[in-house]
Amino acid sequence: MKREDGRKVDEIRPVIIKAGVVPNANGSAMVSFGDTTAIAAVYGPKVLHPRRMQVPDRAYLKTVYNMVPFSTKERCRPGPSRRSKEICKVTRHALEPAVFLEEFPKAGIEVYIDVIEANAGTRTAGINAASVALADAGVPMKGLVASVAAGKIGNEYVLDLAGKEEEETACDMPVAYMPEENKITLLQMDGDLSPKDAKKVMELAIKGCKMLYEMQRKALEDRWVPKVKK
């Protein structure tokens, strides 16, 4: 199968991950998958207001996902939409298992994700950026969360769907995965696949998550591990 951008079926788009890109945040990161770019900024842990939102035995993880108006060819309508609210929710669910929320009773940890360029895979780019931003902020974590989508086009299982591939695939399956825990924290499926095909697509997505995890670690090492002069 020949993909529109020349990639192999099990190949991710060119990836750029940088930590510490928002100076005024406690932690931040930028993640680009080809022409999709997300920036995440973390604030906290801090006292949560209003008080009615406080949880007695853990922190409340707030996630806000937003596509800026110029992120697509046709201007996005600013403000929350049904899609952005749904992505906020699944992003929070993908990240919560990785964070030691019980370390900060009644506190709030805020994660803001802005997609500044969109060509498919915005929720997975946002999850990757948010995970690195949390680690950059020094929030105690069990491990990083990596995320990518996979699908099936024709008879081929395809990793990191982009552009028109989302329209051509029989199924778009975003997966978030913690390699250190061998744990899936998000699994969605938009489409119809047989159990056999669904398993193959999920395995391919997990393979991609493992590759992204190494890139996430490298981005954090580049920011925080002192370079030893030779």
pLDDT one-digit tens code per residue, 61-76: 999 999 887 676 655 6
pLDDT score at 156: 92
Q: Which residue has the higher pLDDT, 167 or 155?
A: 155
DSSP assignment of 116-182 equals EE-SS-HHHHHHHHHHHHHHHTT--BSS--EEEEEEEETTEEEES--TTHHHH-SEEEEEEEETTTT
Query: What pTM was computed for the model?
Result: 0.93
Q: Measured between alpha carbons, how far is 26 from 30 in angstroms, rounded to an integer?
A: 14
Residue 4 lies in a domain: no
CATH number at residue 81: 3.30.230.70
Q: Once rounded to an integer, what is the mean pLDDT over residues 153-173?
A: 89
Reading the block at residue 116, the tokens are: 């500044």
Residue 172 lies in a domain: yes
Residue 44 lies in a domain: yes
- pLDDT per position as a tens digit, 110-162: 999 999 999 989 999 999 999 999 999 999 999 999 999 999 999 999 999 98
For β-strands 171-178 and 156-159, DSSP reports them as unpaired
- Per-residue pLDDT band at 99 (split at 50, 70, 90): very high
Looking at the structure of the chain, the number of domains it has is 1
The answer to whether the CB of 36 falls within 8 A of the CB of 122 is yes
* Domain interval for residue 181: 15-220
Q: Which residue has the higher pLDDT, 215 or 230?
A: 215
Residue 229 lies in a domain: no
Mean pLDDT of the chain: 92
Helices (H) and strands (E) in the chain, counts: 4, 10
Going by the DSSP 8-state scheme, the letter that residue 58 receives in this structure is B
Residue 5 lies in a domain: no
Residue 74 lies in a domain: yes
Residue 226 lies in a domain: no
The answer to whether residue 230 scores a pLDDT higher than 60 is no
Given the structure tokens 């995320």, which residue do they identify? 147
Q: Measured between alpha carbons, how far is 148 from 206 in angstroms, rounded to an integer?
A: 8
Going by the DSSP 8-state scheme, the letter that residue 26 receives in this structure is S
Lowest mean pLDDT among 25-39, 67-81, 93-107: 67-81
Residue 227 lies in a domain: no
- Per-residue pLDDT band at 59 (split at 50, 70, 90): very high
Q: Which residue has the higher pLDDT, 216 or 119?
A: 216
